Chain A
């Protein structure tokens, strides 16, 4: 099956550790920001009117997730996605991803330094040791 590069990236979506924003306001980056999703991630209702420069790194990370999921990808590649979040928001984030994966029969590869987190969110864990992949039993 031949896919164009951009179509592939819609299906297999990468959330990098640092998100980037190019319009002046938050809302311009989204097709739609539902208040339900904003609540689930503890983000303010009116955030779509905010200037991007006003966002904290934690807010950027959570918004980055919402932006990525607008494409409804089948696979999520998450690179240290909760690095800037406080404990409460980490929980909300993990739950959100979990719900998404279940609701859309999607799967994810989650990269993190937090072994505890990985045990919470994943069924299989691997560690890179000396350039090789070592599997861990859950």
Chain B
């Protein structure tokens, strides 16, 4: 059965983090503040969600689940935007990130809950929230990477894109090579995970189950399920975000126009402001 952890157990682990922070401070490595803040955030956020889930398990109502799911989706969408090197316009950025997350994570989770898991009710928080969380967490990474790569590369290579447009290529064609690169970038994490699973790492889901006393073969089946869900979810999410961005950065006359998506500072040169 699940071995319970006391506050003392957690404190012992926390001391490791504390020591790392001290080491960084002594060696002037500058990561102490970030580390302590992140550790604090982790602790507080996880304790909170633990309480929330406890309450939710006792009052299973679909409205609560929808609220929690919406909060999770919004935060994930926001985090995606925070990772972007080139800042996007707020509403377009949020729309694109949460849209892609919704289309990928939500749909796949719904599919899984209703056809594979088949709990009673199908939206039971014991399955819905953790599955959605895993899916959102992973697709969020893929989407953030794909998006960042596409926008950065397209921005740096805008002369080449313009040249291809000038040669009569469609907007879609002109950006196709860059898009392919971005797709590859977005999929690296999950493909890495799948390649390493079982040989290099024992992924979190099955680790948790085995620690709680589940039979390894059963735990492994759940892990395989989740891996497939995450890879297809990430793939779908990255495809969506790349498609949405590719559509948005060209205007109705198929001209390259970053101003439609990116925040362009006013003190940048004329050349960039001319991209109307």
Residues of A within 8 A of B (CB): 4-7, 9-10, 13-14, 16, 18-22, 67-68, 71
Contacts and interface: CB of A to CB of B under 8 A. Distances in A.
A6 B169 contact: yes
Contact of A20 (B160, B169, B254): B160
A9 B167 contact: yes
Given A14-B166, A16-B166, A22 B254 contact: no
A6 B163 contact: no
A5 B254 contact: yes
Interface in B156-181: 157, 159-160, 162-171, 173, 177
B253 A5 contact: yes
Nearest to B251: A5
Interface in B67-87: none
Nearest to B253: A5
Contacts of B255: 5
A19 B171 CA distance: 18
Given A5-B254, A20-B159, A67 B177 contact: no
Range for the number of chain B residues in contact with chain A? 10 to 19
Contacts of A19: 163
A95 B23 CA distance: 73
B167 A71 contact: yes
Given A5-B253, A22-B177, A13 B159 contact: no
Nearest to B162: A20
B160 A67 contact: no
Nearest to B166: A14
Given A5-B253, A20-B163, 13 more contacts: A4-B254, A5-B171, A5-B254, A9-B165, A9-B168, A13-B166, A13-B167, A16-B163, A16-B166, A19-B163, A21-B163, A22-B160, A68-B167
Contacts of A67: 167
B160 A6 contact: no
24 contacts: A4-B170, A4-B254, A5-B165, A5-B170, A5-B171, A5-B253, A5-B254, A5-B255, A6-B165, A6-B168, A6-B170, A7-B168, A9-B165, A9-B166, A10-B168, A13-B166, A13-B168, A16-B163, A18-B159, A20-B159, A21-B160, A22-B160, A22-B177, A68-B166
Nearest to A14: B166
B212 to A, nearest CB: 53
Nearest to B158: A20
Nearest to A6: B170
A116 B173 CA distance: 40
Nearest to B177: A22
A6 B165 CA distance: 7
B165 to A, nearest CB: 7
A55 B169 CA distance: 24
Interface in B95-132: none
A80 B163 CA distance: 16
A61 to B, nearest CB: 13
A92 B253 CA distance: 35
Nearest to B178: A22
Contacts of B163: 16, 19-22
Contacts of A4: 170, 254
A71 B160 contact: no
Complex A-B, nearest 6 residue pairs according to Cβ-Cβ distance, in ascending order: A10-B168, A5-B254, A20-B163, A22-B160, A20-B159, A6-B170
Contacts of A21: 160, 163
B205 to A, nearest CB: 42
